[in-house]
C-alpha cells in the first residue's frame, strides 16, 4: 500500500482515462451520472412471474438531426440522451430503460435455473476464504483476504518484528447498505501511521478520500471529494497529493492537501490547460521525487518536484512533442526515461537531472522486442516487454546494462509480469504467472541464484485437472495478408462431450477480443470460462490490431484511419477458425466490452451470419455522436485515438463509415445481449440504449435482443465478487440458450 510508481504506471493511468474497461472488468469473462437510491429502486420494476409473450419495448422516434461538413445525420433516438447529464432524471428516459430491464427479466426468467446452476458451479471454483501472499513493505507485511461468503476484501498488516494482525480496511463494512462499492487508491504514509484511501459508491468513478490514523483507529476530519487517481504522501507525511475531477470528469490538476487544513486552501501544484490531457502523480523508486505527469493517448510531459518540498519549482523533463510518449524514474539523482522518441517499440535512456532533456540510450529500440516498461531497484533494474507476443521479464546490472538475465517460464504460451514489489532494496522479486490452462500463480524470483519459488497457485475447490485441457496458438490470415494470432483453450475430449450432447459436426466456439488503446488481452486463466469449455466450447482470444500484442505498430494499425483493421481482423479470425475446423458458421459466439463492445457492433454489421450469439458489454457504439460532443467527459482526450470529426471532414466520414449505431441496416442480426450502466462515465448509458432501439426498429429477424441496464453501477458492472459472477452466469446462460445448449424446462 504505497504510492511508489513504476516506470510506466502513469502512462497506463493516463491511457486508462478512455472508453477502456474500468477496474478489472477487461479480463475475458472474469470477473458520473447519479441516481438517488430511491429513484433507482423505483426504476427497478420487479420481473413478471410469467414470461408470457411480453413484447420488446419500442422507443419513440423524435425528429432530431445534425449537420457537419455538409453531411446531415438523422438521429431520432437522441432523446434517450438526458441533457441534464451527469444527472439522469428524465422520466421518459428512465421509463424506457426500466421497460428494457423488465423485458430482460421476463425473457430470461425461463433461464433462471440455468443461470443459478452456472453461478453455483462458477462459485464452487472460487476459494471463498482466500488471501493474497503477504508482502513486506518497510516495517510491515501487507496482505488482503476474502472471508467465506464475503463480497469484498479485508486489508491487513502485521509488524515484521511480530505482534498481532492489524485490520486496515474492511471493505464489507464500508459497503454495508450500498448498491455499489469500490475501493480506489490506498496509500500508507512512510512512517506507517496513516492510511489514505478513496471509495466510489455509485460506479461513477468519482471518489471520496478519507485518512485513518492507524494508531488510534479513528478517521481524521479531512475529506477529499470528487477525485480520481492516486493519493501520494509527501512533505514527511504531512500532506497528500491528489487529482480532483472536473465537472466533465477530467483530471487536470495535481493538488496538495496539508493534513488538518481546510480543503479550500489546498495548493495547486500543476494545472493542465489542454482539456484533452490528463494529470497523474506518483513517487520515484527511492520515494524522494514526486512525479507529475500529463498526457493523452499519444503525447507525454513530465515534471519532477522534491517529495520533501512539493511546492518547490518543478523540473520540466522535456516539453511535450506530439506523438512522443515518455515516463521517468530517478535513482541516486540520475533520471531514467522510457520513450518512443526514436523507435516505435520504445527505448530506455538516462540523463543528468541538471540536463533532463538530454537522453542517452541505455537499451535501444528494437523491431523484434517491444519494451513496455522498466523498474529500478537498488542493485539492478528490470525491464518488461513482449517478444513474438509473449511476455518477457529481463534483469540487468547498472554497471553492465547490455548483459541480460531473462526470467524463463515453462510453457510455450503464457502471461507473466512483475507483481507487487514496493521496496527499493530487494533480493527477491514477486512475479505473477498464468496461462490458459495454468491457474494464476505467484512466484518469488531470487535475483542472485535465478531460482523461482512458487508461493501460491490459485486453488479451485471444486477441482481442476489441467491435463484435461489443451491450449493452442494459431495464426489466421486477415484479408490484407496480415497474420493474426489466436489463443485457444478447449477440452482434449471435446469431441466426446459434443457427441454426448447430441451435437454433430464442429462444435461451438466463443471468440473474445478488445482491440483498442494498445491494450493486449493476455492468454490468461479463467475459472468462469470453464463453464463453456466443459460443455464443449472452444474458447479463443483473438489478438487483433488495436491492441499492442505484437508491438506498438500493431496498436497503431488499429486506430484513427486504420481502425477498421480491428474489425476485419476479428471477422477474419472467426472465418479462419471455421476454415480450420474448430467450429462452423453460425456456431461462433462472441463478446466484448466497452471499445470491445464497439467491436461487437461492427462485426455484426459486417458479417452477421457468422455468429450464433453476441454479448456486448457497455458498448461504445455511438462513436460519431460521442466524438462530436466535446462536452462529454472523455471526448477531447479521445480525438487522438479516433479522430476529431468536428474539425476534420475526413475523420467525420471515416468514423461514420464504421460507427456501429450509424451503420445499422435492415437485415438479419444474431441473438444479442447488451449491457449498460446508468452511472457509467466512460460509455454513457444512452449509447447502448440508442443502439438497441435502432436495432429493434430495422432488423428483419425474430432473434432475441435484450438490454440490461445496471441502475446503480457504472462501467465495470455490479460490484462485489458474487454480484459480478452472477452477471457472468447470466451471460453464459444467454449464450447456451441461444446455441440450443440450455437444458429443456421440466414439464409441470
Question: Which residues 6+ apart lie within 8 Å of 605 measured at CB?
Answer: 660, 663, 664, 665
In this predicted structure, what is the pLDDT of residue 631?
87
Q: How far apart are CA 715 and CA 634, in angstroms?
A: 13
Q: What percent of the chain has pLDDT above 70?
A: 91
The pLDDT value recorded for residue 661 is 98
Count of beta carbons in the 10 Å neighbourhood of residue 606: 16
For domain 32-126+591-622+660-748, the CATH architecture is: 3-Layer(aba) Sandwich (3.40)
Q: How far apart, in whole angstroms, are the C-alpha atoms of residue 200 and residue 173?
A: 14
Instruction: Write down the pTM of the prediction.
Output: 0.89
pLDDT in tens, 672-690: 999 998 887 778 899 999 9
Q: Which contiguous run of DSSP H or E holds residue 121?
A: helix 112-124
Cell, residue 443: 512466484
Q: What is the pLDDT of residue 47?
A: 37
Residues 6+ apart with CB under 8 A from 400: none
Distances (CA, A) of 186 to 212, 288, 305: 11, 19, 22
Contact between residue 137 and residue 287 where contact means Cβ atoms under 8 Å apart: no
* Per-residue pLDDT at 413: 86
Spans of all domains in the chain = 32-126+591-622+660-748
Q: Cell for 327?
A: 515516463
Q: Cα-atom radius of gyration of the chain, to the nearest Å?
A: 25
User: Which residues in the chain land under pLDDT 50?
Assistant: 2-51, 747-748
> Which pLDDT does position 13 carry in this prediction?
41
pLDDT at residue 719, as a whole number: 62
**What is the H or E stretch that residue 101 is in?**
helix 91-108
Beta bridge partners of 281: 292
With residue 556 as reference, give the H or E element that holds it: helix 552-556
Could you write out the DSSP letters of every residue in 394-455? EEEETTEEEEEEEEP-SSSS-EEEE-----SS-SEEEEEEE-SSS--EEEEEETTT--EEEE
The catalytic site residues sit at 594, 680, 715
Q: What pLDDT was estimated at residue 513?
A: 97
- The residues, ordered by sequence, that sit 6+ positions from 354 with a Cβ below 8 Å of its Cβ are none
| Measured CA angle at 584 (ends 579, 588), to 5 deg | 110
Torsion angles phi and psi, residue 553, rounded to 5: -65, -35
Task: Calculate helix-pair angle for 564-579, 649-658, nearest 10 degrees.
Answer: 30
Amino acid at each position: 500500500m504505497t504510492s511508489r510508481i513504476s516506470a510506466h504506471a502513469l502512462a497506463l493511468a493516463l491511457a486508462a482515462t478512455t472508453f477502456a474497461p474500468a477496474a478489472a472488468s477487461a479480463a475475458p469473462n472474469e470477473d458520473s451520472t447519479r441516481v438517488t437510491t430511491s429513484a433507482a429502486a423505483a426504476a427497478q420494476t420487479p420481473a413478471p412471474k410469467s414470461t408470457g409473450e411480453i413484447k420488446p419495448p419500442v422507443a419513440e422516434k423524435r425528429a432530431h438531426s445534425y449537420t457537419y461538413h455538409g453531411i446531415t445525420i438523422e438521429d431520432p433516438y437522441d432523446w434517450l440522451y438526458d441533457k441534464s447529464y451527469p444527472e439522469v432524471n428524465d422520466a421518459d428516459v428512465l421509463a424506457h430503460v426500466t421497460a428494457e430491464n423488465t423485458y430482460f427479466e421476463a425473457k430470461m426468467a425461463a433461464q433462471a435455473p440455468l443461470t443459478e446452476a452456472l453461478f453455483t458451479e462458477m462459485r464452487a471454483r472460487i476459494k471463498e476464504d482466500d488471501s493474497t501472499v503477504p508482502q513486506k513493505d518497510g516495517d510491515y507485511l501487507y496482505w488482503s483476504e476474502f472471508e467465506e461468503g464475503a463480497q469484498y476484501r479485508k486489508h491487513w498488516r502485521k509488524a515484521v518484528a511480530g505482534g498481532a494482525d492489524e485490520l486496515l480496511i474492511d471493505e464489507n463494512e464500508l459497503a454495508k447498505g450500498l448498491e455499489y462499492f469500490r475501493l480506489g487508491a490506498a496509500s500508507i504514509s512512510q512512517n506507517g501511521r496513516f492510511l489514505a484511501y478513496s471509495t466510489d459508491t455509485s460506479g461513477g468513478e468519482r471518489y471520496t478520500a478519507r485518512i485513518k490514523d492507524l494508531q488510534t483507529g479513528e478517521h481524521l476530519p479531512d475529506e477529499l471529494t470528487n477525485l480520481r487517481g492516486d493519493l501520494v504522501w509527501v512533505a514527511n507525511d504531512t500532506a497528500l497529493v491528489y487529482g480532483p475531477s472536473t465537472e466533465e470528469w477530467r483530471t487536470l490538476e495535481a493538488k496538495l492537501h496539508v493534513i488538518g487544513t481546510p480543503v479550500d486552501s489546498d495548493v495547486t501544484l500543476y494545472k493542465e490547460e489542454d482539456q484533452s490531457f490528463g494529470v497523474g502523480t506518483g513517487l520515484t523508486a527511492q520515494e524522494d521525487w514526486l512525479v507529475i505527469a500529463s498526457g493523452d493517448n499519444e503525447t507525454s510531459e513530465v515534471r519532477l518536484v522534491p517529495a520533501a518540498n512539493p511546492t518547490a519549482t518543478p523540473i520540466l523533463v522535456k516539453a511535450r512533442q506530439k506523438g512522443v510518449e515518455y515516463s521517468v524514474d530517478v535513482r541516486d539523482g540520475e533520471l531514467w526515461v522510457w520513450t518512443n522518441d526514436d523507435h516505435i517499440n520504445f527505448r530506455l535512456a538516462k540523463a543528468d537531472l541538471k540536463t533532463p532533456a538530454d537522453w542517452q540510450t541505455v537499451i535501444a529500440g528494437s523491431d523484434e522486442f517491444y519494451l513496455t516498461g522498466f523498474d529500478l531497484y537498488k542493485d539492478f533494474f528490470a525491464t518488461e516487454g513482449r517478444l513474438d507476443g509473449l511476455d518477457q521479464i529481463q534483469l540487468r546490472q547498472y554497471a553492465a546494462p547490455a548483459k541480460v538475465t531473462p526470467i524463463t517460464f515453462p510453457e510455450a504460451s503464457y502471461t507473466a509480469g512483475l507483481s507487487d514489489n514496493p521496496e527499493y532494496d530487494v533480493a527477491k522479486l514477486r512475479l505473477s504467472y498464468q496461462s490458459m490452462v495454468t491457474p494464476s500463480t505467484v512466484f518469488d524470483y531470487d535475483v542472485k541464484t535465478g531460482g523461482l519459488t512458487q508461493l501460491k497457485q490459485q486453488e479451485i475447490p471444486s477441482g481442476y485437472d489441467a491435463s484435461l485441457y489443451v491450449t493452442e496458438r494459431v495464426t489466421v490470415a486477415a484479408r490484407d495478408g496480415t497474420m493474426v494470432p489466436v489463443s485457444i483453450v478447449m477440452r482434449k475430449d471435446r469431441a466426446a462431450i459434443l457427441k454426448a450432447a447430441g451435437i454433430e459436426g464442429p462444435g461451438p466456439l466463443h471468440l473474445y477480443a478488445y482491440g483498442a488503446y494498445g491494450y493486449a488481452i493476455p492468454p490468461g486463466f479463467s475459472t468462469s470460462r470453464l463453464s463453456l469449455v466443459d460443455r464443449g466450447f472452444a474458447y479463443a482470444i483473438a489478438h487483433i490490431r488495436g491492441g499492442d500484442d505484437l508491438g506498438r505498430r500493431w496498436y497503431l494499425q488499429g486506430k484513427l484511419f486504420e481502425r477498421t483493421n480491428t474489425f476485419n481482423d476479428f471477422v477474419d479470425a472467426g472465418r479462419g477458425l471455421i476454415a480450420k475446423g474448430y467450429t462452423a458458421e453460425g456456431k461462433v459466439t462472441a463478446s466484448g466490452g466497452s471499445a470491445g463492445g464497439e467491436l461487437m457492433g461492427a462485426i455484426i454489421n459486417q458479417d452477421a451470419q457468422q455468429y450464433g450469439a453476441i454479448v456486448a458489454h457497455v458498448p461504445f457504439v455511438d462513436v460519431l455522436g460521442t466524438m462530436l460532443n466535446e462536452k462529454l467527459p472523455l471526448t477531447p482526450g479521445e480525438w487522438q485515438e479516433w479522430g476529431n470529426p468536428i474539425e476534420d471532414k475526413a475523420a467525420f466520414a471515416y468514423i461514420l463509415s464504421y460507427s456501429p449505431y450509424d451503420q445499422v441496416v435492415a437485415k438479419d442480426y444474431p441473438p444479442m445481449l447488451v449491457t449498460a450502466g446508468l452511472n457509467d462515465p466512460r460509455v454513457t448509458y444512452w449509447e447502448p440504449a440508442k443502439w438497441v432501439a435502432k436495432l429493434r426498429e430495422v432488423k428483419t429477424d425474430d432473434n432475441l435482443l435484450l438490454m440490461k441496464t445496471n441502475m446503480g453501477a457504472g462501467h465495470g458492472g455490479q460490484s462485489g465478487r458474487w454480484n459480478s459472477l452472477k452477471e457472468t452466469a447470466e451471460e453464459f446462460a444467454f449464450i447456451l440458450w441461444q446455441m440450443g445448449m440450455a437444458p429443456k424446462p421440466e414439464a409441470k
